[in-house]
């Protein structure tokens, strides 16, 4: 899984996750992440680079940022099951394929 992060996200993850200066092309396993404030609460906006499927995950304190991948998968599973109606076993299988995570810089702010 590749996460292309904006500058705001990179600053939030400083000291918690290492972010490569590499920029990836759009692909099935590439997600863009932006930091959004809504009613004085901070959220990560995840946007799939190919389909532009998007959802929000609350960005909590640094202790919760350490389990960022887990909260991403939990929320993605919830949204996919609720909005698309996919089979839960299929979603689990799809998520288990790419267990490694890479963080890099975004190459397209137009999507966000």
Top-confidence range, 9-13, 42-46, 56-60, 74-78: 42-46
Does a structural domain hold residue 11? Answer: yes
In a domain, 24, yes or no: yes
**Is the model's pLDDT at 82 over the cut of 60?**
yes
Tokens of 7: 């500058």
Question: In this structure, is residue 110 part of a structural domain?
Answer: no
pLDDT at residue 55, rounded to an integer: 93
Whole-number Cα distances in Å, 56 to 21, 51, 90, 106: 24, 16, 22, 18
Q: What is the pTM of this model?
A: 0.82
pLDDT of residue 94: 66
Domain span at residue 74 reads 2-105
CA–CA gap between residue 3 and residue 19 (Å, rounded): 9
SS (H, E, C) 35-47: EEEECCEEEEEEE
Query: Residue 77 domain-assigned?
Result: yes
Residue with more model confidence, 47 or 86: 47
Q: What is the mean pLDDT of residues 60-73?
A: 81
Q: Is residue 75 part of a domain?
A: yes
Give which of 46, 25, 43 is closest to 107, Cα–Cα: 25
Position 112 in a domain: no
Helix (H) or strand (E) holding 12: helix 7-13
Mean pLDDT of 94-111: 71
Mean pLDDT of 31-50: 92
Mean pLDDT, rounded, of the chain:
82
> What's the pLDDT score for residue 50?
87
Strands 2-5 and 30-38: parallel
Say what the pLDDT of residue 34 is. Answer: 94
111, 52 contact by CB (below 8 A): yes
Note whether residue 14 is domain-resident: yes
Q: Rounded CA gap, 13 and 62, in Å?
A: 8
Number of domains into which the chain is organized: 1
């Amino acid at each position: 899984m590749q996460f292309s992060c904006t500058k705001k996200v990179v600053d939030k993850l400083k000291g918690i996750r290492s972010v490569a200066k590499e920029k990836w092309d759009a692909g099935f396993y590439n997600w863009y992440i932006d930091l959004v404030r809504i009613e004085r609460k901070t959220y990560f906006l995840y946007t799939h680079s190919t389909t532009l499927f998007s959802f929000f995950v609350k960005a909590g304190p640094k202790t919760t940022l350490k389990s960022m991948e887990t909260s991403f998968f939990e929320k993605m599973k919830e949204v996919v099951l609720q909005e698309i109606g996919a089979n839960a076993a299929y979603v689990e299988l799809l998520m288990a394929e790419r267990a490694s995570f890479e963080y890099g810089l975004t190459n397209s702010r137009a999507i966000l």
